[in-house]
A and B are shown apart, each in its own frame.
Chain A
Amino acid sequence: MTGYALFLGCTIPARQPNYELSARKSLSKLGIELVDLSNMTCCAPPPIESINLESSMSIAAYNICLAEEADLNLVTLCSGCFQSLAKANAMLKTDKHLKARINKILSHAGKEFEGNKEVKHYLQVLVDDIGIKRIKQSISKPLRNLKVAAFYGCHALRPSELLKLDDPESPHILEDLIEALRAKSVKYRNKLKCCGGLLRGVSDELALDLARDKLVNTSKAGADCIATLCPFCFVALDIGQVQLRSKLNETYDMPVLHYSELLALALGIDPKELALETHKIKPDKIISKII
């Protein structure tokens, strides 16, 4: 069994038991052990980077230090956490001046970044450690009738030079994983454009405009649901639909599922164990297509 330190972040435990449950259950079913380390903190994502980049880099490095001490690689579910941690990890491993500068700060908390661990998004764990072939073999409820719109969001892919998850202009890891579940991955316009999630609370109108574009285009493409990788994209597109209904009187009724939820369902995990009631747009149609 391969073990990883799970970096859970804030948004998932605060709001999305559906994400946490589906990820924990399906990864464990596929033979990945997740270890919950104590004393982790916020990953210091864009809102903190906007306040002070040195702080966000130091906080990310501090959390990586905890994984180094436990001699485990890190896995994240949230793309925001992935970007913060993987970016810091890559920059600190290659820039010795930056590493010295950040280590000086970390010394106040008795930590030292060494740079001997990996930070992975769970999609990379699925592909690299388990493999598409084994995932295909493990499926007990193939999602044969399901048309899924893959949505990457931004922070799993870019900046690609540091994150190295996939080609930022033409990624395929998520489509490959969707098709491993025997679902059909559908093409749609503006697939790689931002969901607007990070503008919520700063400019709600702009944020909703960006989310709307995704819902219009995935609906036009005939998708049954959107598959996301990030809790912010999930909020932008799921709660976003409730807001679009009340503000613009537009109804999309497009279920948004985390990829891990689709994976859990295909692995035969009971939908009742997945806190699907968390979704604002109920995925009942999806469940009835599967079972």
Chain B
Amino acid sequence: MEYVKKEKTIALAFPSLVISRLGGKTITHCYQCGTCASSCPVARINPQFNPREIIKLSLLGEKEEVISSDAVWLCCSCYNCQERCPQKVEIADVIYALRNIAFEEQKSPNIYLEFASALMNNGRIVPISKFIEKKRPDYGLPPLQPTGIEALNKILSAIRFGTSLQKEEAK
């Protein structure tokens, strides 16, 4: 009896973590019908990505397999699966929650580190070059308003955003 109890605790640690995160709370509603996978434009052309499989592995507690694989980063965030899920699992948001955990454990593709530092340094993830900014009057466009970078960084430091990024850079 004790053995069973112990196994249960181990198996539930990862799903509990996912549930506790923003975006993750509906993961346990999944009954593995596969509507998500059959609605997914990525799964149709790349068998490496299957949202039903990602949810199943997460619910089984296979944390490493989920957050260390490339698959979780192949979601195109189209929300088709979420729209069609008969159980109202917020699948695209669950995938964000999984990516958030992976990012904190430094397992994200490098481009996300670039997005994070662009956000902290410029307040934007797509930089606007000085050249383009100077051309605005030629096009007849009004000047760009200043970006709220100071307020943004106050918000980001309140959440400790980029803490794992700093760890990554220190390596």
Contacts and interface: CB of A to CB of B under 8 A. Distances in A.
Most chain B CB atoms below 10 A, which of A50, A193, A201, A202: A50
Interface in B96-148: 96-97, 99-100, 103, 108-109, 111-112, 115-116, 119, 123-129, 132-133, 135-136, 139-142, 144-148
Most chain A CB atoms below 10 A, which of B119, B133, B145: B119
A52 interface: yes
Interface stretch (A40-48, A120-128, A241-249, A251-259): A40-48
B154 interface: yes
A165 interface: no
A158 B159 contact: no
B166 to A, nearest CB: 13
B82 interface: yes
B11 to A, nearest CB: 25
A40 B82 contact: no
Contacts of B23: 53
Interface in A21-56: 21, 24, 36-42, 44-55
B74 interface: yes
Contacts of B135: 17
B100 A59 contact: no
Contacts of B83: 158-160, 168-169
B30 interface: no
Contacts of A159: 79, 82-83, 90, 92
B10 interface: no
Interface string A201-212: 111001101100
Contacts of A59: 152, 155
A10 interface: yes
B139 A106 contact: no
Interface string A98-139: 000000011011110000000000000000000000000000
B77 A10 contact: no
B1 interface: no
A15 interface: yes
Contacts of A11: 126
Contacts of B116: 48, 51
A216 interface: no
Interface residues of B, number: 61
B33 interface: no
A62 B151 contact: yes
B34 interface: no
Nearest to A101: B22
A191 B115 CA distance: 30
B103 A58 contact: no
B111 A201 contact: yes
Given A13-B132, A154-B77, A158-B82, A39 B146 contact: yes
A1 interface: no
B159 A194 contact: no
Contact of B155 (A51, A53, A62): A62
Interface in A252-291: 273, 275
Contacts of B140: 21, 273
A108 B158 contact: yes
Interface of A: 8, 10-11, 13-15, 17, 20-21, 24, 36-42, 44-55, 57-59, 62, 66, 105-106, 108-111, 154-155, 158-160, 168-169, 192-194, 196-199, 201-203, 206-207, 209-210, 273, 275
Given A41-B147, A275-B139, 5 more contacts: A42-B123, A50-B99, A168-B83, A199-B42, A203-B46
22 contacts: A10-B128, A13-B136, A14-B126, A17-B136, A36-B145, A50-B112, A52-B100, A53-B93, A53-B100, A57-B22, A108-B158, A111-B151, A154-B80, A158-B82, A192-B80, A194-B76, A198-B76, A203-B46, A203-B74, A209-B45, A273-B140, A275-B139
